[in-house]
Amino acid sequence: MLKGIPKILSPELLKVLCEMGHSDRIVISDGNFPAETMGKDAVVVRCDGHGVPELLDAILQVFPLDTYVEHPVNLMEVMPGDPVETPIWDTYKEIIARYDERGSGCVGGIERFQFYEEAKTAYAIIATGESAVYANVMLQKGVVKE
């Protein structure tokens, strides 16, 4: 155990976050995301008993978002005609606003199949048990300036 580190961040996940450099990306995926398929060239960390919001909040406590890009946070866009609601996105934006002064302005969207392609180039994918649909989020790491 360590002081000041959210307990949800396992030693494996902390190691991955620490290994990442500026502009590396990590995906926090929902339970339907094909994490093992998309993560063939990435580190896949299993966090099946947890949801995306609690992991996003814990990660952003130790993970700086990239300040050199407009959208260091990207969500998987809903497919046209898919009749789903995404209230979890509002939760994400509230969490992000606690850690980045740009708030929801630093959040973008990526078309579903393009999101899959970009996920294949991520440094790591965190597979969660999140049951909300379109709940995948990609973070781009910034520079620690302390």
Q: Model confidence over 117-141: pLDDT tens digits?
A: 999 999 999 999 999 999 999 999 9
pLDDT at 84 exceeding the cut of 90? yes
Catalytic entry in 30, 57, 66, 100: 66
Rounded CA gap, 79 and 6, in Å? 34
pLDDT at 1 exceeding the cut of 80? no
Mean pLDDT of the chain: 96
Q: Is 134 a catalytic residue?
A: no
- Find out whether 74 and 110 touch, Cβ atoms under 8 Å: yes
E runs forming strands in 13-113: 25-29, 43-47, 73-76, 107-110
| pLDDT value of residue 22 | 96
DSSP helix/strand/coil, 51:
coil
Question: Per the confidence metrics, is the pTM higher than 0.85?
Answer: yes
pLDDT tens digits, one per residue of 63-76: 999 999 999 999 99
- Find out whether 11 and 45 touch, Cβ atoms under 8 Å: no
Q: Say which residues have a Cβ less than 8 Å from residue 140's Cβ, sequence separation at least 6.
A: 23, 24, 25, 65, 66, 69, 72, 73, 74
More confident of the two residues 1 and 37: 37
Q: Is 66 a catalytic residue?
A: yes
Identify the structural domains of the chain with CATH numbers, from first to last: 23-140 (3.40.1650.10)
| pLDDT value of residue 145 | 85
Q: Exposed, middle or buried by CB within 10 Å (0-12, 13-18, 19+), for 118?
A: middle
Q: Is 41 a catalytic residue?
A: no
Rounded CA gap, 50 and 79, in Å? 25
Mean pLDDT, to the nearest integer, of 71-98? 97
Catalytic entry in 22, 68, 82, 90: 22
Mean pLDDT, to the nearest integer, of 25-53? 96
- Find out whether 137 and 74 touch, Cβ atoms under 8 Å: yes
Catalytic entry in 24, 71, 99, 116: 116
